[in-house]
Amino acid sequence: MPLTRLDKFISSQLNISRKDARTGIRRGLASVDGAQEKDADFKLDPESNSVIYDGQAVKYKKHIYIVMNKPAGVLSASEDKKRKTVIDLVPERLLRKGLFPVGRLDRDTTGLLIITDDGDFAHRVLAPQKSIYKTYIAELDGDITDNAPELFLRGITLADGTVCRSAYLKRLSDRTAEIKICEGKYHQIKRMFGVVGLGVNSLERRAVGGLFLPDFLKPGECVEMSEADLNSAIFDSNCSDNA
């Protein structure tokens, strides 16, 4: 991998400013392969040199992947001048430049949201042709009719004429449904239920592909994803038409 400057490496991996990294390096806080390094312009190979800064090992990660339990009332956006966004909730230790939510949940929708700085990964999760199904639990304002699962499976035509791909609807109680969709049209689930005469009182995302919202994650909390989590998110053993 190409060589990079010590100050740049430390500032990007630890999310501190380049100026602070340079000051710290000059003060003797950095070492490379066990030897103190006070030259901020020192060139290193992030994959093979081991760096310690301020007593902490700085491991190279090209990208970061985070699972958040999105609370109601925050925007799925990278920034907003007035309102709080999901990025505002990411703890300092996981913050990086270029973070964005993988797809948008409505402001009042809760549950599993992936946040990353890796555009290729986001595309694999979101592109409809990849058929990664996202699983939601919807609380409805009326009873689910017997024919609703069949209508969802055939593909709902929204009020504006947009045809949705096959969706899987499972009745969990008279007014509670599990629904799986593989697209992210604007307000899609609310509009799909609107077509069958039902309003959505609450919506929670429980899974993306085979990656489930961890039980331990409270609303607003984040956890870094493991390699296994990444694979689960882009493969769904529950729906057979994965690419």
Q: Which residues bind ligand URA (CB under 6 A)?
A: 105-106, 109, 187-190, 203
> Of 192 and 230, which has the nearer Cβ to ligand URA?
192
CB neighbours of residue 65 within 10 Å:
21
Tokens representing residue 24 in the block: 């710290």
> Of 112 and 189, which has the nearer Cβ to ligand URA?
189
Mark whether 146 is an active-site residue. no
The total number of residues shown for the chain amounts to 243
| Alpha-carbon span 98 to 126, nearest angstrom | 18
Strands (E), 82-199: 100-101, 110-116, 134-140, 168-173, 176-181
> Of 87 and 203, which has the nearer Cβ to ligand URA?
203
**Which of 106, 108, 143, 146 is an active site residue?**
106
Tell me which H or E stretch contains 44.
strand 43-44
Tell me which H or E stretch contains 92.
none
Shortest separation between residue 200's beta carbon and ligand URA, angstroms:
7
> Of 50 and 131, which has the nearer Cβ to ligand URA?
131
According to DSSP, the β-strands at 110-116 and 200-208 are parallel
According to DSSP, the β-strands at 200-208 and 222-224 are unpaired
Shortest separation between residue 207's beta carbon and ligand URA, angstroms:
13
Shortest separation between residue 4's beta carbon and ligand URA, angstroms:
39
Shortest separation between residue 138's beta carbon and ligand URA, angstroms:
9
Whose CA is closest to 200, among 209, 211, 208, 189? 189
Is residue 132 within 8 A of residue 234, CB to CB? The reply is: yes
Shortest separation between residue 215's beta carbon and ligand URA, angstroms:
21
Q: Show the CA angle centred on residue 89, arms to residues 119 and 7, nearest 5°.
A: 65
Just list the catalytic residues: 106
